[in-house]
Structure 1
Amino acid sequence: MLVAAAIGVGLMAAVDEIVFHQILAWHHFYDRATPAIGLLSDGLLHTAEIVVLVAAGFGFADLRRRGALAPVSAWAGLFLGAGGFQLFDAVVDHKLLRVHQVRYVEDLLPYDLAWSGSGVLLLLVGAVLARRGRREGAPVRGSGR
C-alpha cells in the first residue's frame, strides 16, 4: 500500500502543479517572494513529483513481478496518498506556513472548503478501500493480482 500511496502523492502533486500552478495560474508553490522564485518553486515541486512517481513506479512493477500486489490495497494506497497530499497542502502549506493560497480572491472560504473537502473525500475513499482490502486478504502468489 505504501508504493501506491507514493503514486497517489505524486499524481496529486502533478494535478496541483499542472492545473492550478500552470494552466489556471492561481498560485505558485511559494508565493511569498518574486515571480521568478515562485516559478523556481514550481519547477522544484514538479521535479519532486516526477522523482516520486518514477521511484514508486519501479516499486509497483516489482510488486507485480513478485505476485505481491493486492489490487484493492493498492487502490486504497493511491487514494490515501492523494488525499493525504491534498489535506497536507490545505492545512500546512495554505494555513500554517502560508506559502500560498488556493486562489487569491476576496472570499477564500469556498476555495478552502473545496480544497480541504476534496482531500477528506479522497482519504475516506482510501479508508473504505483499505478496510475492504484487509477483509479480502493478501494476493495469491502467481495470480497476477
Structure 2
Amino acid sequence: MTKHTDIHRTAHSSKNFWSGFLFGIGLVAFIDEALFHQLLHWHHFYDKSTTEVGLVSDGLFHALSWFATIAGLFLFADLRRRNGFWIKRWMGGLLVGAGGFQLYDGTIQHKIMRIHQIRYVDNVIIYDLIWNIIAIILLVIGIYLVITTRNKNPKVEVSSDEHA
C-alpha cells in the first residue's frame, strides 16, 4: 500500500459511501421483491387494490430498485478505475442503505402508510419485530463502519493491478 493509494481512497470516501448505500438499497429491495413478493407470495408492493395492480406495483418497485443497484455499480466501477475503492467504507454504506430501506419499509410503508404488511396473519407483530430488528442491526453495524472510516486513512491491501 502506498501513500498515493491512501490519498485516492480518502479523497473518494463520499463516493464509496454512496456507491455502497445505493447498492444496499437495491440489494435489500431485490431480496424483498424476489423472496416475499414472488416466491412466498406474502404481499405486493401495493396491496390496497386488485392483484393486477399489486403485480404492476411490484414491477415498478423492482425497476426502481434496479436503478439504485445500477447507479451504485456505476459509482463502484468509477472507484475501481480511479483506484479509490475502500471496502470498509463501501460496506458501511451498503449496510446503512440496506438497513435504512428496510426500516423505512417496516415503519413507514407497513405501519404509517399501510400500503402492505410483511405478511397477512393474525399475529403480524412477530414479523414486524423481526423485520425491524434486523433493519436496526444492519443500520448500527453500517453506521459503526462509516464512523470508523471517517477522516482516517483506509487500511487496504494492494492488489496486483495496482502495480501496473
TM-score for the superposition, normalised by structure 1? 0.92
Q: CA RMSD in A?
A: 1.7
Alignment of structure 1 residues 17-96 onto 2, 5 Å: 17-96=33-112
Q: Does 1:106 align with 2:116?
A: no
Pair 1:8-2:24 in alignment: yes
- AA aligned opposite 1:61: A
Larger radius of gyration: 2
Q: What is the CA distance between 1:131 and its match in structure 2?
A: 2.3
Aligned equivalents of 2:142, 2:104: Cα separation in 1: 16
How many residue pairs match? The answer is 143
Task: Give the Cα–Cα distance (whole angstroms) in 2 for the partners of residues 118 and 8 of structure 1.
Answer: 14
Q: Report Cα offsets for 1:57-109 as digits up to 9, x if no partner.
A: 11110011111222110010000000000000011100110000010000111
Segments of structure 2 that go 5 or more residues without pairing to the other structure are 1-16
Following TM superposition, the consecutive aligned residue runs of length 4 or more in structure 1 with deviations greater than 6 angstroms are none
- The code of the aligned residue for 1:116 comes to N
Alpha-carbon distance in 1 for matches of 2:87, 2:152: 10
How far 1:125 moved relative to its partner?
Answer: 1.0
> Aligned equivalents of 2:99 and 2:64: distance in 1?
18
Task: Extract unaligned runs of 5+ from structure 1.
Answer: none
2:7 counterpart residue number: none
